[in-house]
Structure 1
């Protein structure tokens, strides 16, 4: 393919599937976002999480508007980011699904505002929403981090629809 042909290909309309395929080349960490609303625990697997500010400590989380966890987070105003570690593939799949009690058999503690903290997670951040913005199919939550903890270990990675591990040059 010539440089001219590559340029022409980029000028074609971008379909949702083509965008998904291209953005799938971006490797990310894997988290489970959790919240509690009216005594009911909610959680979903998410990779659209990013640090935003050190002072004050803030992050952002993107949740699909149709997500039950996203809707609960919208109403509760508080959530936890549970960063999964290498080997937590099953936990990631469990919270990515719909239906049954995703928390059944999972070791859980409670954060300062009732957020479920997954005890086997590599790290946890307890957050309060300061602002939310609806964009396209998602809600972007901006949140201040009030508590955080981490344990030694390696993160679970997500790339091209699969879970894996990072390989570092030593």
Structure 2
């Protein structure tokens, strides 16, 4: 694999890169955690993926300014909620800034790890932070999986071509 220097990457057409990335369907997730003082934090992310099956691990890319990243940087456990059909409003709610206000009027509960658990997700993955890796304007958080929930009937939500849609509708968007 070739190394790309910073000079090479500056020559990229950012608009073309963004369009290309928009063509890649991504799962829509909300990552939640609880700060040391008991304040819930959460963020919508589409840059989340499995890293390893043995041991089971996940990786998520956070903007450097993320409140949730600041919490995870302290080693706090976290939940990855894979959103399902009908959770578009929740995805948008957690996409911006807002701190604990994102959790107002949402029925959430504390998971065994202490992180806020949101209702009706297509899947939930409990993790503990094992590594942080800086990468450009983002930080990759590697998490070791401690528990999973996967209701079989759930239809996952994806982000594709700058829109949220049920995964089954990808063919219609092509």
Rounded to whole Å, the distance in 1 between the matches of 2:159 and 2:135 is 23
**1:160 corresponds to 2:167:** no
Runs of 4+ in 1 over 4 A off after TM superposition: none
What TM-score does the superposition give when structure 2 sets the normalisation length? Answer: 0.84
Structure 2 residues without counterparts, runs of 5 or longer: 1-9
Rounded to whole Å, the distance in 2 between the matches of 1:16 and 1:72 is 30
Query: Conserved in 2, the CA contact under 8 Å of 1:36 and 1:76?
Result: no
Partner of 2:97: 98
For 1:70-97, what per-residue CA distance to the aligned partner results, in whole angstroms no more than 9, with x for missing partners? 1111114321101100111000001012
Rounded to whole Å, the distance in 1 between the matches of 2:12 and 2:160 is 21
**1:107 corresponds to 2:107:** yes
What TM-score does the superposition give when structure 1 sets the normalisation length? Answer: 0.86
Partner of 1:65: 64
Rounded to whole Å, the distance in 2 between the matches of 1:43 and 1:26 is 24
Partner of 1:127: 127
Rounded to whole Å, the distance in 2 between the matches of 1:132 and 1:15 is 28
Structure 1 residues without counterparts, runs of 5 or longer: 1-11
Q: Secondary structure at the match of 1:102?
A: helix
Partner of 1:148: 148
- Shift in Å, 1:13: 2.4
Query: Conserved in 1, the CA contact under 8 Å of 2:34 and 2:76?
Result: no
Q: CA RMSD in A?
A: 1.8
